[in-house]
Structure formats: structure tokens, C-alpha cells
Amino acid sequence: MAVLCSGGDAPGMNAFLRAVVRLGLNRHHRPVYGIRDGYRGLVRAARQVGGDGEALIGLCQDIERQVGNRGLIDAQQCIIQMDHASVSGIMGKGGTILGSARCLEFHKPQVRREVIDLLEKLQIGGLIVCGGDGSLSGARLLAQESNLRIIGVPATIDNDLQFTEMSLGVDTAVHTLVWAVDHFIDTARSHRRVMVLETMGRESGDLARMAALASGAEMVITPESGPMTEPRMRELAQRIEGAMTRGRGHAIVLIAEGVKFEPAQNRNGAYVLRDAFQSYFGREGAPFPDLEVRPSVLGHLQRGGHATPGDCILAARFAEEAWKSLLDPQAKSGITALRYNKVEIVPFGCEDLPERAVHSRAMDTLHDDLANW
């Protein structure tokens, strides 16, 4: 069995690798191969071997000679036989010890064919792909195009995968955002300011809305609530001004990066919102003409850092389910998912979980009703 991390890194990937390796070695007595740099590592190894039998023997010798940390240290080695020591002390560490990458070539069927041939030659019958939406699309194609058993594991701080309630990394990213709001709020309070903080999340507002609910941020703007127009921005500014009139001193506004504007904007949403709010607060005869709005784009700060216990536990549960499925001859390739607080495998092609949208709307209402307007 082989495992790789692909696409954007997420906290919890290392905890997952540790769990997969330890379960493989301790519980199932199976060797586990780590693939460096996601699909790119597989493509590189496939190219190295090509149709050449001697090159294949050379690759196998390298893998056997440089096991665990020795293989990991050698940046040229794409496939590493993992041992206990190679996953020691990595549980909470952000990022991934195997490295992650984007590999455009993997979109080509011919390149995937080369990778499938390589895995078959190495007698690797199962592949676990830990990553986000794109990585799992690649995994789905590999499952369709081969007899390999493929298990996808959702890992992305965006929580934009509809088939699972939580992906690896989300809990940690929410935790980081709550920490960030706690820091921004000090200045917001002291200077009586409005802070507009832009979160990641791609097309999804889940990260922003979870962070708003957990931090008590006054306002959250998500892509699901529709495009931002001039009248909508005015309405939000009016709401903040109204709260200020009733004695409130500051406001924290979270805006998800996926929010679209009408007309379209080529700047970050936090800056567009700052300008709209600032011009509203500064209008002729406004009650708080000195009210300042400060934007901040939080960026990759959200992707790193020590994984929370919640993510480490979810990683272990995903790893256990992945192994269970891989070793069951009747099971199908699919993706580990958290549904109704149970971990299960969702076969590729059956990923819909319509309740997710309902759940998100309910969270928005809950947040709104808890805010102090």
C-alpha cells in the first residue's frame, strides 16, 4: 500500500501519515510506502523507470536500501518504505513530511497510465490519496482507469468537500482564525474600529462561518449568501453604524475569499469592502465620520500551525477506515467521510450530501441570532 499527500497542505496530514503507517505496521503487518510530493513524485518515478527493467530494479534497490528517514532525507527518492521512526514525533506538526505538490501533467490520461503501470510493476495494490477537491478528482480517475484500490482522504482547510461534514485541517484553521480574531479585537476595541478580515475557503464559506460562530465576530459574509452589490454593502455598513449608535464600539467582519462582487472586482474582497464601508461612514452628516475600517487578508497563516487534537483524532479515524476498506476484498474504492459523526467510505461517484447546505444555512442563522446588533 502506498500513501501520498497532494494539493494544498493541511494540518492533520502528518497525524494521518503517522496513523496509516503505524496501523499498517502494528495492526495489519503490511509494508507502507510513502510517495514524495504527491502525484508529481509518482510521475517522476514512472519516468525514471519507463519501460526499462534495469531501471525498475535500481528503483527497488534504492527503496530497500534507504528506508524511513534515510529515504526521506534524500530529496531525489520519490518512493520511501516507511518505518516506525519515520513517523515519530510528527503527530501535531503542520504541513506534511512527504511533501505535497500540484502536478498539472496528472490531468493527462497517458501520464496516469504510466503511473498505474509503475504501481502495478511495484506490486502496490492500494493507494491512499490525502488531499483536497482536485487531488480527490485525480484519485477518482485512477480508480476508474485501473484495478488498483484507491482511497481518498479529505484534507483541506476550506471544508469545501460536500460529502463530508469535516475535512482534515478545518478544525485547526478555525482555531487559528479564532486566535486571529482575538488579536484583532484588541485593536478594534481600543481604537473603536471596524476590522474586515478575509479568510480562505475557495468557493465555500464554511471556514469563515465556523470561525465567526466560534470567535463571536459580529458579521460573516460568505459566497453562499450571494454576490456583493453596492446596495448590500451599504446595508451592512448601515447595520454596523446602527449598532455603534446604540453604544457598540467596534466590529469584526469576516469575509470569505470566494465572495463574488457585482460588478466584478480584481482586488481582495476585504479591500473592496473597506472602501465601501469607509465611504459610507464618511458621508456628509454621518454620525461617526472618524470611524476607521481596516482590512486584513489572513492568507497562508490559516494553513499552517500545530494540528488540534480534533484534527489528530479525525486523522486516526480516517486512517483506520482506510485500512479497513483496503483490506476488505468486497469493498470499493472511495473516500473516507465524516457523516453524522461516523467515519465511513463513500464510493467514488456517490459523493452528494445535500444536508450540508441546510446545515450551513442553519449555522448562518445561528450566528446572526447570536450577534450583538
Residues found near ligand ADP in the complex (CB under 6 A)? 6-8, 39, 102-104, 106-107, 131-135, 137-138, 141, 156
Task: Please state, in angstroms and rounded to a whole number, the distance separating the CA atoms of residues 274 and 195.
Answer: 9
Task: Please state, in angstroms and rounded to a whole number, the distance separating the CA atoms of residues 313 and 16.
Answer: 9
Q: 158 catalytic, yes or no?
A: yes
Of 16 and 106, nearer to ligand ADP (C-beta) is 106
Q: How far is the CB of 184 from ligand ADP (least distance, A)?
A: 27
User: Please, what's the b/e burial string for 92-121 (b: 16 or more CB within 10 A of its CB; e: otherwise)?
Assistant: bbbbbbbbbbebeebeeeebbebbbebbee
Residue nearest to ligand ADP (CB): 134
Of 75 and 104, nearer to ligand ADP (C-beta) is 104
Q: How far is the CB of 21 from ligand ADP (least distance, A)?
A: 21
Residue whose C-alpha cell reads 484519485 in the numeric block: 139
Residue whose C-alpha cell reads 487534537 in the numeric block: 309
Of 20 and 291, nearer to ligand ADP (C-beta) is 20
- Judge whether 224 and 207 are in contact, CB under 8 Å: no
Q: How far is the CB of 179 from ligand ADP (least distance, A)?
A: 23
Q: How far is the CB of 356 from ligand ADP (least distance, A)?
A: 17
Distance of CA 131 to the CA centre of its chain: 7
Q: How far is the CB of 349 from ligand ADP (least distance, A)?
A: 14
Of 21 and 43, nearer to ligand ADP (C-beta) is 43
Per-residue CA distances from 8 to 28, 49, 95, 265, 280 (Å): 30, 27, 9, 25, 38
Q: What are residue 77's phi and psi, to 5 degrees?
A: -80, 120
Of 103 and 217, nearer to ligand ADP (C-beta) is 103
User: Which entry of 37, 158, 160, 311 is annotated as an active-site residue?
Assistant: 158
Strands (E) in 275-359, as ranges, are 293-297, 334-339, 342-347
Picking from 206, 253, 195, the residue whose alpha carbon sits closest to that of residue 228 is: 253
Ramachandran sector of residue 302 (left: φ over 0; alpha: ψ -120 to 50; beta: rest): alpha
Distance of CA 197 to the CA centre of its chain: 19
Of 103 and 270, nearer to ligand ADP (C-beta) is 103
Picking from 77, 91, 92, the residue whose alpha carbon sits closest to that of residue 33 is: 77
Helix (H, G, I), strand (E, B) or coil at 311: helix
Q: How far is the CB of 77 from ligand ADP (least distance, A)?
A: 20
Q: Please identify every residue annotated as catalytic.
A: 158
